Structures are given as C-alpha cells and as structure tokens.
C-alpha cells in the first residue's frame, strides 16, 4: 500500500485551520503543486490523477480565500497552465491564446446571451446567432503561415509564451504545409488531440516497452506532441481540428461561420458537428444532441463552445480577464458509468488520516480512466454500504473529483452479501500502530506519528520548526531529501547527522548544493539544539492536540520527562492511574488525555523518545516563580516588540507565572504596548487597564 499525500483528503476543515496551520499548508501545497506541474507539463508523467490534482488546487484556493494575508508570492493560484518546458524554444504569441468562461447549466447559457444583448444594447427581438462547436479535450496549438507556407507551430504554454513545436506539428496528418488564397500572415489555432483507438494502441505499446502509460487521452496527446524527436510524434497518430484565428494580415471574413468555411477551403480539418445556431434555443438543443452522441465520437469532448457569430460584435464585446466575452464553454453534466469494486484499500495521509479508497475496474468516464475513487471516511463507506465485489455507479464531470454515487444492490453477488459490511482497520496499514477515532470525528488516525512513513516527513518538519527544536538549515526540502535517501528516519537521526555526514551515500559534501559553509551552518544549528526545555520537547513530538500551550501546561505539571513517562507508562485501561492523574490536571480533558495515552503507550513512540534522549538533554521545567510581580496576572502584548520576539516575551511572561491572552478584556491586568499598537491600546484605555512600554516590560521581566 502506498503512502498517499495527495489522496489524503487533508484532514483539517478549512474553517478550523489556525493561522500557523494555514501558513504551513499553503507552503506544502505550493511545493507539491509545483512538483506535480513539473511532472505533468515537463515530464508528461503525472503521479496523481487529475482529480487529486484539482482537489489540491481547490484546497489551496479555499485556504487562500480565508487567509488572504497568507497568499504566497509563489502561490499555485497565480500560475495558469503550463510553464514552458525545457528542451523546446520559446514562442511569444503575437496574440495571447485565451481561455474560455464556463457554464454548467442552460440557465447560465441564457444569462450569457442576455449579458451580450445588454452589452451591445440589442433589442429583445434582435437575434444573436451563435456558432456552436464541440469542445475538444486535447491541447491547443497555434499554427503560423507566412505567404501560404507553414513556418511555425507552438503550444499554448501559459497563453503568452508557448513552446516551439514546429517540426512536431508538421507530422500531424491533415495539417496543411502550404495553403492557397490565404492572407500573407495567417495564424490558425485549434486543438491537437488523440483518438480513442490510438490511445489504446499507444498505451499497450508503452506497457510492452515497460514505459509508463498515459492517464488519459489529453495527456497522451500532450506527451506525444512534446517529444524532442519529431519522428516519435509522427508515430503517434495525432489529429487536429482548427477553430479560431490568431494574428491575421488581412481579415477577409465577417463571421466565425464564414471563418470556418475558409479554414475548410484552405484545407484545415474542422469539426463536422459545428453548426451556426440562429437562437440560443437552437444552440442548447445542439448541446443536448452532441452530449447524447459523445461516446460514439472516437475522441473526447467535454462540452460545447458557443461563439457569437458576428465578428464586429466580437470586437465590440472584447475580453473579460483572459477570456473573450463573446464565447462560452458549456460543459457536459457529470457522466456516469458502472463498474466493479475490486478492493477497498486504506491510504494514510501526511497527517495520519486514514482514507478508504475503492479500487475499481478501470472505466473511461468524463474524459479520464478512473481506477480509484476516494471514499472519504468509514462513515461514508457504511452509509453507502460499499463492499469489495459490489457493482457501483460512479460519476465525474469536467474537472470534478470522481464520486461513487451508489451501489447497485441488485447486482451484489451472494458471497459479498454474506460477507457483511466492510470494516475499517483499527491498525495503520503502513506502520501497524493503533488507528483511533475521536468522539465526534469522522476521521480515523494513525497514532504512529514519527515512525509512520506516511507521516514522517511532515512530522520531522514539525520537529525542526521554530517553536519546536528550531533547527535552522533543515527546511522542508532538506528534510524530504534526507528522508527519501534514508539518512534521517527518526528525530534522533538529526543529531547523529554531523557524525555520519561523510559516511552517507553519497557523502553529504558530494551532494549538489551542499557546500562547506552550508554544511557547517547545518551542523552548528544541530549542535546548538542538543539541550531543550521540556515544553518545547513535548511540542516537537507532534502529539495530537498538544500544541504549544498544552505542551507548556504538561511540562509545568510534570516538571520532568521522566515524571511524565512514568505516569503514562502502562496506561491502557479505562480506569488506570494514568487516566486519573491526567484527569486531575486543570485544562486536560478526556480527548487530550486519550491522545497522550495513545501516544505514550505505543512502543514505536517510546523508542523514538528513548533514542532521542540518548542524543539530547531534556531540561526539567523551571516552575514559574510564584513570587514574581506578574504571577497570576493576565497580560496582553500588542504592537511590535523590538527587543525580544513576541514568542519569547510570551514564554517569559508564562515563566513568571502570568497568563498571556490575545485580546484585551475586563480580565486583563496589564497591556504591553509596542510601537504600532492599535485597537488593543484603545481597549485598554477604555477599560482603565494599566499599560507599559517595552522597556518597562523588560525591567519587569528581569532582562
């Protein structure tokens, strides 16, 4: 069973994310999506399905919508389409290659024509003729002719700059090399696609040759067109439909329909189903007809494109963002298909969430071959009563994640009926640690944390993060690399790294990017963290529900790691002493108590801690001074502190026995005002609460 970072429906609901979690996840999403883009566009070898990719992109966008301040400069939402691949020259499109606005219902299509009518101030009864053309699911290309000779072919790329695939496009049957009677400069745009039969033939050949198969026809077309050797492209039976103009010397037509006739006259293949529709009703009827017949076409289409026929109107309508106002892609509704569940497997995500996944007999639906369908959680499986061997109906629309709609109970084999409902395992399929489900939660999670390979990288990143061990120089990328290479498997390995650096394979000094200074910095960062406070230590372990303040609370209560471990050791029974001891701690509820017990009784976690204490010293927690001037008081920090970080100030206040709050209320005793303090300063004044500046705070803090 594979670890599946992307298959994991990232476990925290967006509404529940904290700022810190959102920031971390946006960073991880930027990294992952960049990698998937590279695999897809540069390598033509995606490792996740389109649906999984879309789910990641949507999650990124949803988090950005909620945390607008955290949108990264390298956010995937700022990139559209493919960057230019290495290996091909660049072509800057003289006219940008546009995208299309989408509609999913007839109502949206009517809105589109109404908008056009309003924009052009047309009378109610003035007909708006539309040319309706199938929306081909391939990749768009721009073909340039000068004085009737084919001179250049380019991919769309990001719409502004594409790749020079002149020789490759020249191999496509039906693409004219020279044309008569055309303008001196003519760019013809259209879709390069692969037919169903060729796709099957190609994938069989790929399999035979031990090469990776293509996930769908669009990827196959893209991969085939973007071959460095055009002879390989020539072997793949690619096809082309022309549908729109790019740069044109002299425009000799006055409508899209007329342009399509010209294309045919010049010898370009155009789609035979395209039709000029006098009214929107006619266009919608064509959409229904084309939709009904799409399976028999032999190539994939994912909707119908409507274009305002009159060119003068197109020019007046212009663009909205990067799409023409005069065109609309009317997508088809979810396509459904029947298939059989071969097996239900359980994937473990980076956060430890266990996600059941149905492996089905591969079916072609909605433009892709579907072999896996996420089932979210065990409740969903139970509600739908999906079992291995069941016949199921699945659906997929456009770029939407495939869904399991229902089980065809009438087709359930007897042995499947007899076997009873599917059951979620209560052990992690990867590391065999207990997988538990908290009350009120739909998701079951592996408790293996640091030893579970599905979670290890994420856990190690957390372990090294600022509020944990704070190891500079061990960022996400380095940790992933060390992990993948087997150099760091558990936290203790970080501390033996300096000693092992030259025995690694290859030695660290011989790895790209690892110069002497960088190595020295990393080693000194590691060595400077060999002693750590108990609160940070507990936080770094990534125990569920143990955030920074809970870690402090536990450290304060137990004082030493030994005391904590002794209490929790052997705590498995409902009525154990450990549970009683935890229950007696103020602010420790049953959910946290259970999470602590689950973590500390797991032998693998015990080993992680045993190994760690061999290489680091965990300091006992200095009990807060009960006599300090601020012990028992509630403090709020606001504005920028210039002489110590907010984290340090907070820690110091807590060490002195104070409580740190995020907002000013009647319960606040003291507000520390840094420069730029805003509404909280006003609140303090209104409520008559004592305020001090940073210097006064430093005196109070004994610094």
Q: Any idea which residues carry the catalytic annotation?
A: 135
User: Which of 9, 143, 327, 522 touches ligand IVH (CB under 6 A)?
Assistant: 327
323-331, 410-418, 456-464, 598-606 -> range binding ligand IVH (CB under 6 A): 323-331
In whole angstroms, how close is the CB of 666 to ligand IVH at the nearest point? 57
In whole angstroms, how close is the CB of 649 to ligand IVH at the nearest point? 52
In whole angstroms, how close is the CB of 274 to ligand IVH at the nearest point? 8
Residue number, 243 or 268, with CB nearest to ligand IVH = 243
In whole angstroms, how close is the CB of 655 to ligand IVH at the nearest point? 58
Q: Quick check: 111 and 164 in contact, CB under 8 A?
A: no
Q: Quick check: 437 and 367 in contact, CB under 8 A?
A: no
134-142, 288-296, 388-396, 510-518 -> range binding ligand IVH (CB under 6 A): 134-142
Residue number, 93 or 445, with CB nearest to ligand IVH = 93
Residue number, 140 or 391, with CB nearest to ligand IVH = 140
Residue number, 133 or 598, with CB nearest to ligand IVH = 133
* H or E, element range at 233: helix 230-235
DSSP codes of every residue in 308-344: ESBHHHHHHH-EETTEETTEEEEEPPPEEEEEEEEEE
| CA distances to 137, 463, 530, 554 from 469, in Å | 49, 6, 9, 17
Q: Quick check: 616 and 531 in contact, CB under 8 A?
A: yes
Structure token pair of residue 275: 């039709």
User: Which of 223, 291, 324, 542 touches ligand IVH (CB under 6 A)?
Assistant: 324
Nearest CA to 181 out of 153, 145, 154 is that of: 145
The 177-196 site mask, x for binding ligand IVH (CB under 6 A), equals: --------------x-----
Say how far apart CA 258 and CA 546 lie, in whole Å.
68
Structure token pair of residue 604: 């693998």
Residue 300 touching ligand IVH (CB under 6 A): no
Residue 140 touching ligand IVH (CB under 6 A): yes
Nearest CA to 156 out of 190, 132, 186, 185 is that of: 190
Residue 329 touching ligand IVH (CB under 6 A): yes
Q: Quick check: 137 and 146 in contact, CB under 8 A?
A: no
127-156 burial code (b ≥16 CB/10 A, e <16): ebbbbbbbbbbbbbbbbbbeebebebbbbb
Q: Which of residues 80-99 bind ligand IVH (CB under 6 A)?
A: 98-99
Q: Residue 161 pairs with which residues in a beta bridge?
A: 92
User: Which of 305, 394, 597, 681 touches ligand IVH (CB under 6 A)?
Assistant: 305
Residue 522 touching ligand IVH (CB under 6 A): no
Residue 28 touching ligand IVH (CB under 6 A): no
Residue 306 touching ligand IVH (CB under 6 A): no
Residue number, 220 or 327, with CB nearest to ligand IVH = 327
Give the CA-trace dihedral at 640, 642, 647, 652, to 10 degrees: -120
Q: Quick check: 428 and 436 in contact, CB under 8 A?
A: no
In whole angstroms, how close is the CB of 42 to ligand IVH at the nearest point? 19
In whole angstroms, how close is the CB of 242 to ligand IVH at the nearest point? 9
User: Which of 84, 136, 263, 428 touches ligand IVH (CB under 6 A)?
Assistant: 136
Say how far apart CA 280 and CA 127 lie, in whole Å.
9
In whole angstroms, how close is the CB of 155 to ligand IVH at the nearest point? 10
Residue number, 99 or 628, with CB nearest to ligand IVH = 99
Q: Which of residues 238-277 bind ligand IVH (CB under 6 A)?
A: 243-244
In whole angstroms, how close is the CB of 76 to ligand IVH at the nearest point? 18
Angle value at C-alpha 57, between 53 and 60, nearest 5 degrees = 140
Residue number, 133 or 335, with CB nearest to ligand IVH = 133
131-139, 230-238, 385-393, 592-600 -> range binding ligand IVH (CB under 6 A): 131-139
Say how far apart CA 305 and CA 300 lie, in whole Å.
14
Say how far apart CA 636 and CA 667 lie, in whole Å.
10
Q: Quick check: 222 and 137 in contact, CB under 8 A?
A: no
Residue 135 touching ligand IVH (CB under 6 A): yes
Structure token pair of residue 170: 């020249």
Residues lying near ligand IVH in the complex (CB under 6 A):
98-100, 133, 135-136, 140, 191, 243-244, 305, 324, 327, 329
């Amino acid at each position: 069973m594979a670890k599946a970072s992307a298959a994991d429906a990232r476990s925290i609901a967006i509404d529940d994310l904290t700022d810190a979690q959102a920031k971390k996840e946006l960073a991880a999403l930027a990294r992952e999506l960049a990698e998937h883009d590279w695999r897809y566009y540069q390598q033509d070898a995606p490792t996740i399905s389109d649906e999984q990719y879309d789910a990641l992109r949507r999650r990124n966008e949803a988090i950005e919508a909620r945390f607008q301040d955290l949108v990264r400069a390298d956010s995937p939402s700022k990139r559209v389409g493919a960057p230019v691949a290495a290996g091909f020259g660049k072509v800057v499109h003289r006219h940008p290659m546009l995208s299309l606005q989408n509609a999913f219902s007839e109502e949206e299509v009517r809105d589109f024509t109404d908008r056009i009518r309003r924009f052009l101030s047309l009378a109610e009864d003035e007909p708006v003729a539309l040319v309706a053309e199938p929306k081909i699911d391939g990749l768009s290309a721009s073909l340039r002719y000068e004085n009737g000779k084919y001179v250049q072919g380019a991919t769309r790329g990001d719409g502004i700059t594409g790749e020079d695939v002149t020789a490759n496009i020249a191999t496509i049957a039906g693409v004219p090399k020279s044309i008569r009677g055309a303008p001196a400069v003519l760019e013809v745009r259209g879709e390069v696609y692969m037919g169903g039969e060729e796709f099957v033939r190609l994938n069989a050949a790929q399999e035979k040759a031990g090469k990776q198969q293509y996930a769908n026809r669009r990827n196959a077309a893209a991969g085939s067109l973007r071959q460095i050797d055009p002879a390989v492209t020539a072997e793949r039976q690619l096809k082309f439909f022309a549908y729109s103009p790019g740069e044109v010397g002299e425009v000799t037509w006055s409508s899209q329909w007329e342009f399509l006739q010209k294309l045919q006259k010049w010898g370009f293949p155009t789609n035979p189903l395209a039709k000029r529709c006098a009214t929107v009703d006619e266009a919608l009827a064509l959409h229904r007809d084309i939709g009904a017949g799409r399976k028999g076409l032999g190539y994939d289409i994912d909707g119908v494109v409507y274009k305002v026929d009159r060119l003068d109107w197109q020019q007046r309508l212009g663009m909205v963002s990067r799409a023409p106002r005069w065109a609309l892609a009317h997508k088809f509704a979810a396509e459904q298909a029947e298939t059989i569940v071969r097996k239900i497997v359980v994937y473990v995500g980076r956060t430890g969430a266990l996600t059941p996944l149905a492996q089905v007999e591969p079916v072609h639906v909605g433009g892709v071959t579907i072999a896996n369908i996420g089932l979210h959680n065990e409740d969903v499986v139970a509600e739908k009563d999906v079992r291995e061997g069941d016949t199921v109906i699945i659906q997929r629309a456009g770029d939407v994640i495939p869904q399991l709609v229902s089980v065809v109970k009438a087709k359930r084999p007897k042995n499947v009926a007899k076997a009873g409902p599917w059951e979620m395992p209560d052990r992690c399929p990867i590391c065999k640690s207990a997988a538990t489900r908290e009350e009120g939660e739909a998701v079951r999670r592996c408790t293996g944390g640091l030893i579970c390979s599905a979670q290890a990288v994420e856990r190690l990143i957390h372990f090294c993060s600022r509020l944990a061990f704070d190891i500079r120089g061990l960022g996400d990328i380095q940790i992933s690399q060390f992990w993948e290479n087997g150099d760091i498997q558990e936290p203790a390995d970080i501390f033996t790294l300096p000693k092992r650096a030259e025995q690694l394979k290859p030695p660290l000094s011989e790895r790209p990017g690892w110069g002497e200074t960088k190595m020295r910095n990393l080693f000194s960062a590691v060595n400077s963290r060999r002693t750590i406070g108990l609160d940070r230590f507990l936080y770094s372990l990534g125990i569920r529900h143990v955030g920074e303040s809970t870690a402090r609370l536990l450290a304060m209560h137990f004082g030493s790691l030994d005391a904590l471990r002794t209490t929790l050791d052997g705590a498995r029974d409902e009525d154990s002493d450990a549970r009683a001891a935890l229950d007696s701690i103020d602010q420790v509820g049953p959910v946290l108590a259970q999470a602590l017990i689950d973590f500390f009784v797991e032998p693998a976690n015990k080993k992680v801690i045993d190994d760690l204490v061999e290489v680091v010293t965990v300091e006992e927690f200095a009990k807060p001074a009960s006599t300090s001037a601020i012990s028992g008081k509630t403090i709020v920090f606001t504005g920028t502190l210039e002489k110590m970080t907010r984290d340090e100030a907070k820690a110091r206040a807590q060490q002195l026995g104070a409580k740190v709050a995020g907002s000013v209320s009647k319960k606040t005793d003291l507000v520390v005002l840094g420069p730029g303090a805003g509404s909280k300063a006003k609140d303090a004044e209104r409520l008559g609460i004592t305020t001090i500046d940073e210097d006064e705070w430093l005196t109070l803090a004994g610094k």
